[in-house]
Structure 1
Amino acid sequence: MNIFAQAAQLESQNIPFAMANILETSGSAPRHQGQMIIKSDGKIIGTVGGGMIERFVIEQAIEAIALRAPRVVKGRMTRSGPDSMGMDCGGTMSVHIDVFGLRPALILVGAGHVNRAVAQAGHVLGFDITVADAYADSLAEGNFPEGTKLVLGDTMEDAIDQLSITEKSFVVIATNHQDKDAISKIVQQDAQYIGLMASKRKVQTLFNHLRKIGISDRKIEGVYSPVGFSIGAETPEEIAISVMGEVLKVKNAAAGGLMKDDSRINQKKLVMIRGAGDIATGVAIRLHNAGFKVVLTETAKPTVIRRSVSFAQCLFDGNVTVEGITASKATCCSTIHDILDQGMIPVLADEECCNADKLHPRFVVDAILAKRNLGTTKDLAPHTIALGPGFMAGVDCHAVIETNRGHDLGRIIYNGETTPNTGIPGNIAGFTHQRVLRAPNAGVMRCHVKLGDIVKEGDLIAQIGNTPVNAPLAGMVRGLLNEGLEVTEGFKIGDIDPRGDEADYLTVSDKARAIGGSVLEAMLHLDANS
């Protein structure tokens, strides 16, 4: 079997290898033409001349396979000088190294109509496909492209146990009635992509199940479900296009969406939000899902307590995901578009909103909720919108949104102001002031519980310096300030939700959703009437 036939065999088996081909030689080179296959373990088929130059090519080929990138290497058969190989021949050689057998692994759990269509689409796109199921009839070879690996188990869990899932695998779960068993096993793997076909209602049920069996929030947030892009897909073939579009977005670290909506080209879609707390995050998610390009600005060390649903937290952690939308810390204005290109929401430490002049957003939304105006003016953007007390629509901004709970929550005011700040926290299960934790003195915050913990009245929640802060009532820790922040006496440092296990600290609140919808309405109204 010649070297090219062996290369074709390795390629068909999706075994990683490199092909080295002599491009150019001069002088006394060991060979003037030739090819060599190099496997990832360093084993070779063929030769490019032997000696130190060949060892160098093997080393470079192994590195090229690891990086999945071709390269050209040069060597001089001399003892010294640039590219010297420690040889006495005196010639030179240039070798091109290309890599093969690196088709990304697409693993389909469930062999029904949807995954059959996904397999066909994935085959055309160059994926190495494996399908797993517990029903032999579903795995009939005629249902899948040539070369598909078929895995049959006594149960779906047994079939999954036979799979080889790595950090570079793309997994799509689409089963009839076994999605609970499938996701419970798959979510614990470090796959590059895990997609789960399920309705929005079923997603919540499955995710709650995962939390109950001890799966971390980070793992759960990494699951793409409902799966695919929202393109109105109904048939298996349409769903497959939607799913593979999302797979390619992750594989290529791309933004997704319409290219014509690139914020460099179409600034009509660009929104800057001042603040990145829980309400601002709810607004950002609604605008992002509506197709707008959203940028948030914050203080360098945000003092938000609802950290699990606040994009401000990425200024501490780098990246934060809320309801499937990821925000990333922008180190400077120039990195904002790079983050937007990846389909994420950039958060920039820019307390004064100085970068509005550089980005030229169509809309600025003040979502700081400081109960007073901290510098927002009508000339920050063609359309400025503010949330809550402290703003006069028609003077400070073009519109202001009512944030006080009650009948008028979310009301849009185009001339005038909202109701004054009552100073009373929202009523949850009959508790207002009682559920809020405040610093008893100035000092550094130290946490003794974490978000989502269930506590009893009197439990130690935190310390400010050496002073303990105890739970005023039983419930779930829904809000808690970041460890290590310095606070002043009376500063809000936490929040206990008296509903306990029934509370939800991982999703956007009803209040944030209502306000987000009003911001979107105000933006569309202002733009249509400008």
Structure 2
Amino acid sequence: MNLFAEAARLTESNTPFALATIVSTKGSAPRHSSQMLVRRDGTVLGTVGGGLIENHVIDQAMEAIVARKPRTIQRSLTRKGKDAMDMDCAGAMTIHIDVHGLKPEMVLAGAGHVNRAVAALAGQMGFEITVVDSYEPNLNALHFPNGTRLVHGETMAEGLTKVELNDNCYVLVATNHEDTDGLAAVIESSSSYIALLGSRTKVKTLKQRMLERGVSPEVVAGIRAPVGLDIGAETPVEIAVSIMAEILMERNERSGRPMKDSIRNGGSNLVVIRGAGDMATGTAIRLKRSGFQVAMLDVAEPTVIRTSVAFAQTMFVDGSVEVEGIKAHKACSVAEAWRLLDAGTVPVLIDPKGEILRQFKPGIVIDSILAKKNLGTSKEMAPLTIALGPGFNAGEDVDVVVETNRGHNLGRVILEGPAAQNTGIPGNIAGYTEERIIRAPSAGEMQPLAAVGDLVVEGQMIAKVGNEAVTAKISGKIRGMLNPGISVTEGFKIGDIDPRGEQADHTTVSDKARAVAGGVLEAIMMFRH
């Protein structure tokens, strides 16, 4: 059977399926260019190479079908390491999984003028449309797009029992006199979007009636009412435009802001931070709370120590990382990063060289790699470039440098020249400097035996590098610890201990990061005004 013929058949029958495409490969891989169609029941047509990698792709594709969202997976065809598949091919594959064949369903309770206009727009947008009404003359096929399912019931509630509602349905209740029963019939369904047409007074009354019928306050609060975006709509067509605009906004996970104000046009409000460690994360949080959109770039396996307060942890976990109420999530593509930005989440991408900046076109670039030297950041990257710490000259490499050395000048905005040189001496906390730092005694693979937040005592074994034990030099709280499985060199910093013990806060941004983030925000506002 031809893969594309099957895809066309499934699309025509409104049956969901996933299409897995090999995007890129490295080294030895079972296939370098191929596609595989995965049906909802897990049966397939085509192949991406067979074996463990193909079984994994099938599982991911079935999850994508349920979630109705595309995804990109990157897997290593090795026994060990990040994203390893326990295979011996010694290569790597990147596979994009897209979901097709499932049109969204529009269920319209009421066949009046507004719902007719909504149906006309929804039909042009590819929705499967069902209209329910208790007044049969309203269900005239001439009023609706071809293919619309028309359902008559003796009452609106009875008619809605003939419709199967699921999480692929968008439901709009807009009747002449049966809104209470119509809303009650759909409000506790699994529909992803339930809306009510009416004035604020009418909406308030109907919500109260739902509460009196025993519907939970959480469910009632989820009703889209009054429905639509605020565009001053009055006529049925204008109201339909308002409603469909809101539905598209929800379906595509966008903000609904005017395009002229979008970060995609000019990027003046978009900040890209190179690095995603604790200092970069503190900066990202300060800027997010100040109204900026923030994206971050880092290496695939960042050697982040303060794992509890670093968005770099998105590289090591499935799902989101949250610090002080701000969420970050790993993005596997620029398109996914835009979706995360629109949803209010900080995307973190693997891009150590900043190559994605050409696509982002940000208004501001911040170098927070803290490598003590410039790893490629230049003034040409954005209208405003800022670097944290030594290794940069303000006015030459970048526009602004922010001081990161503890002391009187911490967080100072430097418009000309460099920051203070790195002393190599860790900051003094409760009288301890170098003793706080946990270093690798030899080269090898890092394996923590204590976690961030643990209280330890002097002499306690807290990690292993290879077969060699690492012990605490002082008592206190583990405030930082390198992720397991990372290979390190002798003397490499793998963690730190805060001698203040229980009083130390390892869950929020540090005082140093807050001071530096304040300098960054000050620099941005200076250049803006």
TM tier, shorter chain?
0.5 to 0.7
Matched, 1:420 2:421: yes
Q: Is the 8 A contact 2:266 2:361 kept in 1?
A: no
Q: Measure how far apart 1:412 and its partner are.
A: 1.1
Aligned to 2:102: none
Paired with 1:494 and 1:436, the residues of 2 have a C-alpha distance of: 6
Aligned to 1:295: 295
Residue of structure 2 equivalent to 1:263: 263
- Report matched runs for 1:57-206 at 5 Å: 62=164, 64-69=165-170, 100-102=185-187, 124=203, 145-149=208-212, 169=218
State the partner residue of 1:463: 464
Measured in 2, the distance between the counterparts of 1:527 and 1:414 equals 14
Once the two structures are TM-superposed, the CA of residue 482 in structure 1 deviates from its matched residue by: 1.0
Structure 2 CA distance for partners of 1:33 and 1:19, relative to 1, 3 Å: closer
SS at match of 1:400: strand
Give the CA deviation at 1:410.
0.8
Shift in alpha-carbon separation, 1:47–1:461, aligned structure 2, 3 A = closer
1:433, distance to aligned residue in structure 2 (A) = 0.8
Q: 1:337 to 1:99 in 2, by over 3 A?
A: farther
Mapped to 2, the partners of 1:419 and 1:324 lie a distance apart of: 33
Question: Are residues 475 and 121 of structure 1, via their aligned partners in 2, closer, same or farther at CA, if it must alter by over 3 Å?
Answer: farther
CA distance in 1 between counterparts of 2:498 and 2:201 reads: 46
Structure 2 gap ranges (5+): 1-108, 111-129, 134-138, 142-148, 173-182, 191-198, 223-246
Distance 1:147 1:429, change over 3 A: same
Contact 1:315–1:329 under 8 Å retained in 2: yes
Q: In the alignment, residue 269 of structure 1 is paired with which amino acid?
A: N
Q: Distance in 1 between matches of 2:171 and 2:210?
A: 26
Give the 3 Å change call, closer, same or farther, for CA 268–66 of structure 1 in structure 2: closer
Superimposed CA distance per residue, residues 337-395 of structure 1 (whole angstroms, 9 cap, x where no aligned partner): 11110011111110001111221111111011111111111111111111101111111
Q: What is residue 311 of structure 2 aligned with on the other side?
A: 311
CA distance in 2 between partners of 1:377 and 1:366 (Å): 9
**Residue of structure 2 equivalent to 1:513:** 514
- In structure 2, do the counterparts of structure 1 residues 104 and 526 end up closer, same or farther at CA, with 3 Å as the change threshold? farther
Would the alpha carbon gap of residues 268 and 506 (structure 1) be closer, same or farther in structure 2, given more than 3 Å must change?
same
Give 1:102 deviation, angstroms. Answer: 2.4
State the alpha-carbon separation in 2 of the partners of residues 266 and 433 from structure 1.
Answer: 46
Moved more, 450-459 or 493-502: 450-459
One-letter amino acid matched to 1:263: I
Deviation at 1:302, TM superposition (A): 0.8
Q: How does 1:4-23 map to 2 (within 5 A)?
A: none
On the 8 A contact 1:36/1:46 being kept in 2, the answer is yes
Query: Could you report, residue by residue, the CA deviation over 1:71-126 in whole angstroms, capped at 9, with x for unpaired residues?
Result: 9xxxxxxxxxxxxxxxxxxxxxxxxxx99522699xxxxxxxxxxxxxx9899389
Label 1:369 to 1:68 Cα distance change in 2 as closer, same or farther (>3 A). Answer: same
Q: Would you say 1:275 and 2:275 are equivalent positions? A: yes
The secondary structure found in structure 1 opposite 2:395 is coil
Per-residue CA distance 1:212-265 (angstroms, 9 max, x = gap): xxxxxxxxxxxxxxxxxxxxxxxxxxxxxxxxxxxx9x9989566965642113
Report the Cα offset of residue 403 of structure 1: 0.4
Question: Any residues of structure 2 matched to 1:321-340 within 5 Å, and which?
Answer: 321-340=322-341
Q: What TM-score do the two structures reach when normalised by structure 2?
A: 0.58
Q: 1:382 and 2:383 equivalent?
A: yes
* 1:393-408 superposed matches below 5 A: 393-408=394-409
Asked whether the equivalents of residues 331 and 348 of structure 1 are also in contact (C-alpha less than 8 Å), the reply is: yes
* Distance apart, 1:512 and its partner CA: 0.8
Partner deviation per Cα, 1:133-164 (whole Å, 9 max, x = no partner): xxxxxxxxxxxx4443599xxxxxxxxxxx97
Residues of 2 paired with 1:454 and 1:123: CA distance? 58
Work out whether residues 298 and 351 of structure 1, in 8 Å CA contact, stay in contact via their aligned partners in 2: yes
Mapped to 2, the partners of 1:348 and 1:453 lie a distance apart of 30
In the alignment, residue 166 of structure 2 is paired with which amino acid?
A: I
* Offset of residue 419 of structure 1: 1.0
Query: Structure 1 residue 334: deviation in Å?
Result: 2.2
Residue identity matched to 2:512: K
Check the 8 A contact 2:307/2:480 in 1, yes or no.
yes
Match of 2:375, SS state, is coil
| TM-score, L = length of structure 1 | 0.58
Letter in 1 for 2:203: V
Cα separation, 2, equivalents of 1:290 and 1:490: 39
What residue number does 2:475 align with?
474
Number of residue pairs matched by the alignment:
347
| Within-5 A mapping of 1:435-450 | 435-450=436-451
Which whole-Å CA distance do the structure 2 matches of 1:505 and 1:379 have between them?
A: 37
For 2:363, the equivalent position in structure 1 comes to: 362
Unaligned runs of 5+ in 1: 1-6, 9-17, 25-31, 38-43, 49-57, 72-97, 106-119, 129-144, 152-162, 173-191, 193-247
Distance 1:47 1:270 in 2: 46
> 1:418-440 CA deviation, whole Å, 9 max, x = no partner?
11100111111111111111111
Taking the aligned partners of 1:147 and 1:263, their CA distance within structure 2 comes to: 40
Work out whether residues 376 and 396 of structure 1, in 8 Å CA contact, stay in contact via their aligned partners in 2: yes
State the secondary structure of the residue aligned to 2:338: helix
Question: 1:66 Cα deviation (Å)?
Answer: 4.8
- Per the alignment, residue 454 of structure 2 pairs with 453
Does the CA-based 8 Å contact 2:266-2:362 persist in structure 1?
no
| Contact 1:254-1:343 within 8 A present in 2 as well | no
Deviation at 1:69, TM superposition (A): 4.5
Q: State the distance in 2 between where 1:171 and 1:490 align.
A: 59
User: What is the distance in 1 between the residues matched to 2:366 and 2:343?
Assistant: 23
Percent sequence identity over aligned pairs: 45
Paired residues of 1:263 and 1:337 also in contact (CA < 8 A): no
Alpha-carbon RMSD? 4.1
2: CA distance, partners of 1:33 / 1:302: 57
